[in-house]
Amino acid sequence: MSRPGPSSPTEMHRITPRTRLSIRIDSEFGCKIETKQIVLLETIQAQGSISRAAQFLSLSYRGTQKLIEVINTGLGEPAVSTVSGGRTGGGAALTPIGIQLVELYRAIEARAQAVALPEREALHSLMRPKKYPPIKRVRLKRFGSF
């Protein structure tokens, strides 16, 4: 029996736990796709530049290049296309396969988030908040010598 969906954004916030599911996809070819790579691709698309995406994500340019290289090697086709600098300043954008990768990953992630909602709610109830309540110190009385 399925649960009815939320009727308002407020209700959606109320029933969505504050735990988030992270997805990593491993292929038989050794390709690994995870959230960090997808966020990088989305940021490149939004910023229009690898260096601006690196700055935005507080990553080194070289580290960003390595992540792109891993993605491109795993896919067999480039996910990011670049134009060298010059008067126009160059830039970067996602290729059609890069766009498709992001869309498929986000679709898998959304489906997994929805299907695992009851389990995420249960896990959330087991977790402690970051600010732990103060521990009441109890002084033990000594009963004889040990």
DSSP string, 74-123: HHSS-SEEEE--STT--EEEE-HHHHHHHHHHHHHHHHHHHHTHHHHHHH
More confident call, 76 vs 80: 80
pLDDT number for residue 36: 93
Domain membership of residue 68 (yes or no) is: yes
As given in the structure block, the two tokens for residue 44 are 């490149």
**Cross-strand partners of 92:** 82
Domain membership of residue 53 (yes or no) is: yes
Across the chain, mean pLDDT equals 80
Model confidence pTM above 0.85: no
Domain membership of residue 75 (yes or no) is: yes
Domain with 122, as residue range(s), is: 21-126
Q: What is the CATH number of the domain that holds 46?
A: 1.10.10.10
Domain membership of residue 115 (yes or no) is: yes
pLDDT number for residue 52: 93
Tens digits of per-residue pLDDT, 88-140? 677 899 999 999 999 999 999 999 988 988 888 888 888 776 666 666 666 66
Domain membership of residue 106 (yes or no) is: yes
Domain membership of residue 66 (yes or no) is: yes
67, 50 Cβ separation under 8 angstroms:
no
Domain count, the chain: 1
pLDDT number for residue 1: 39
Domain membership of residue 1 (yes or no) is: no
Domain membership of residue 6 (yes or no) is: no
Tens digits of per-residue pLDDT, 120-132? 888 888 877 666 6
pLDDT number for residue 12: 41
Tell me if residue 26 falls in helix, strand or coil: strand
